């Protein structure tokens, strides 16, 4: 019989893993299991063009004409509920199972919900296509949006809603939005885009609860302030979808724990994308990276490891971007507290600049706003430096 690889997860990481297996000459059976009814689609536009109504489902599909030649067996609208590590069988919700010689775990992550918001109409998260469709329908009839969380998803939805004409308030518990990835100084600069475009930003205050009977009417803050709301978007991070592996023997932490090659503690099982926490020699710990580019590129390493053809691994340079209020924000590298941020080009006040973060005099990260060409050059230099070091 032909060998079988089961890919659990049918989003970008799962599709990329299937493509990588074929690109690396694997000609056996590939079964792709996804809990959503939709074929793989691109998630970044969900908070921007798709939410605004300027992009259709066809525009955001991840499928390509060449994918028909991959010979994939799709099991969509099918939820995996367990993994038998002895037989490497993926157990499905309908009681069936898929026996495999190799398994790729690519189940992604889900949006965290605000406790107490269950059953209250008008309260949304944004992670899936169905989430985006539901939010888009409500924004079309709303006048006031409150966004809880000033991370990238929250900021992008706020930007889209302002362009649609809504009154928008963003609430952030931290004193400075985006201080984690960007540092306080540059986080404050990027957060300034909200004020530039008429979005109210409230920082350093938490949410005490939601007000409303059956449907949300306001957001109550910990200082007693009540913010009237027709719609609320909760953007407070994501949780890896790993509960179904609780009794599988697969090592779990803040995600599926793997080595730098995406290999788990179970032979023949690898993990990729938002559900995986890979060992980082630089950070000296397992790191879970929730970036689109990582989900696109990492599966090639996992496929090579699964097929036994992998060579030396290189440390990836994290990269992400965000489009807000017409500005393109791009970041690459790994910033730590104590790193020095220097503006090399442009002006923060003009919302067009390039900043390099230095550690002991060496560049370790780069941030650009509306500087795509210069940013790309610096990102390439960072990647070259990592390859040289490895």
Question: Tell me, what CATH number does 54's domain have?
Answer: 3.50.50.60
In a domain, 313, yes or no: no
Domain final position from 307, 342, 366: 307
Radius of gyration, alpha carbons of the chain: 22
Per-residue pLDDT, 388: 56
Same domain (yes/no): 140, 208: yes
Per-residue pLDDT, 317: 87
115, burial (CB in 10 Å: exposed 0-12, middle 13-18, buried 19+): exposed
What tokens appear for 245 in the block? 């592996």
In a domain, 318, yes or no: no
Same domain (yes/no): 56, 158: no
Same domain (yes/no): 195, 226: yes
Per-residue pLDDT, 389: 56
Same domain (yes/no): 90, 163: no
In a domain, 197, yes or no: yes
- pLDDT tens, position by position, for the chain (390 residues)? 579 999 999 999 999 999 999 999 999 999 999 999 999 999 999 999 999 999 999 999 999 999 999 999 999 999 999 999 999 999 999 999 999 999 999 999 999 999 989 889 999 999 999 999 999 999 999 999 999 999 999 999 999 999 999 999 999 999 999 999 999 999 999 999 999 999 999 999 999 999 999 999 999 999 999 999 999 999 999 999 999 999 999 999 999 999 999 999 999 999 999 999 999 887 789 999 999 999 999 999 999 999 998 766 767 789 999 999 999 999 999 899 999 999 999 999 999 999 999 999 999 999 999 999 999 999 999 988 765 554
Paired strand residues for 14: none
Residue 230 CB partners (closer than 8 Å, separation 6+): 122, 138, 141, 142, 143, 144, 145
Question: Tell me, what CATH number does 360's domain have?
Answer: 3.30.390.30
Same domain (yes/no): 205, 147: yes
Under 8 Å between Cβ of 300 and 313? no
In a domain, 30, yes or no: yes
Domain final position from 236, 258, 286: 236
User: Distances from the Cα of 276 to the Cαs of 174, 175, 270, in angstroms?
Assistant: 26, 30, 9
Sheet containing 276-280, strands listed edge to edge, beginning at the edge strand earlier in sequence = 252-253, 255-258, 276-280, 285-287
Quote the domain boundaries for residue 214: 113-236
Same domain (yes/no): 227, 124: yes
In a domain, 312, yes or no: no
Same domain (yes/no): 120, 228: yes
Residue 366 CA to residue 127 CA, distance in Å, equals 27
Same domain (yes/no): 15, 72: yes
In a domain, 53, yes or no: yes
C-alpha 174: how far from chain center: 20
Domain final position from 192, 214, 236: 236
Under 8 Å between Cβ of 217 and 208? no
Paired strand residues for 347: 352
In a domain, 131, yes or no: yes
Among the listed residues 274, 282, 276, the one whose alpha carbon sits nearest the alpha carbon of residue 317: 282
Same domain (yes/no): 217, 356: no
Same domain (yes/no): 287, 330: no
Same domain (yes/no): 169, 247: no
Per-residue pLDDT, 311: 65
What tokens appear for 89 in the block? 């069988």
Residue found by looking up tokens 């006031």 in the block? 144
Per-residue pLDDT, 385: 77
Per-residue pLDDT, 118: 87
Helix, strand, coil shares of the chain, percent, nearest 5, are 30, 35, 40
User: Distances from the Cα of 104 to the Cαs of 101, 243, 373, in angstroms?
Assistant: 10, 16, 36
Sign of the CA dihedral running 331, 202, 136, 290: positive
Q: What are phi and psi of 17, to 5 degrees?
A: -65, -45
Same domain (yes/no): 101, 128: no
Number of domains in the chain: 3
Sign of the CA dihedral running 375, 376, 378, 383: positive
In a domain, 9, yes or no: yes
């Amino acid at each position: 019989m032909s060998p079988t690889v089961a890919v659990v997860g049918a989003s970008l990481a799962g599709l990329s893993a299937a493509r990588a297996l074929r690109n690396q000459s694997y000609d056996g059976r590939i079964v792709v299991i996804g809990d959503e009814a939709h074929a793989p689609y691109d998630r970044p536009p969900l908070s921007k063009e798709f939410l605004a109504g300027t992009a259709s489902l066809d525009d955001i599909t991840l499928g390509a004409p060449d994918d028909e030649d991959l010979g994939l067996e799709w099991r969509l609208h099918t939820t995996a509920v367990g993994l038998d590590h002895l037989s490497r069988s993926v157990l499905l919700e309908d009681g069936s199972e898929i026996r495999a010689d190799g398994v790729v775990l690519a189940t992604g992550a889900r949006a965290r919900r605000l406790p107490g918001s269950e059953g209250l109409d008008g309260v949304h998260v944004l992670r899936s296509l169905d989430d985006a469709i539901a939010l888009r329908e409500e924004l079309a009839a709303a006048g006031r949006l409150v966004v809880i969380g000033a991370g990238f998803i929250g900021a992008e939805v706020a930007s889209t809603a302002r362009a649609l004409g809504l009154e928008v308030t963003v609430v952030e518990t931290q004193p400075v939005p985006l201080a984690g990835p960007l540092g306080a100084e540059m986080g404050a600069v990027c957060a300034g885009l909200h004020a530039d475009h008429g979005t109210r930003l409230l920082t350093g205050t938490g949410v005490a609860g939601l007000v409303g009977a059956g449907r949300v009417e306001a957001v109550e803050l910990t200082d007693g302030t009540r913010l009237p709301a027709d719609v609320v978007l909760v953007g407070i991070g994501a949780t890896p979808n790993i509960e179904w592996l609780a009794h599988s023997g697969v090592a779990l932490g803040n995600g599926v724990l793997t080595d730098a090659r995406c290999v788990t503690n179970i032979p023949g099982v690898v993990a990729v994308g938002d559900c995986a926490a890979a060992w980082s020699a630089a950070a000296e710990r397992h790191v879970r990276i929730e970036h689109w580019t990582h989900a696109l590129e990492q599966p090639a390493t996992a496929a090579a490891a699964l097929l036994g053809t992998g060579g030396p691994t290189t440390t990836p340079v994290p990269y992400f971007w965000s489009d807000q209020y017409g500005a393109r924000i791009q970041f690459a590298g790994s910033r730590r507290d104590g790193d020095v941020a220097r503006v090399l080009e442009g002006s923060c006040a003009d919302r067009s600049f390039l900043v390099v973060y230095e550690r002991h005099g060496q560049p370790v990260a780069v941030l650009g706003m509306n500087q795509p060409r210069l940013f790309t050059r610096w990102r390439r230099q960072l990647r070259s430096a990592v390859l040289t070091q490895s």
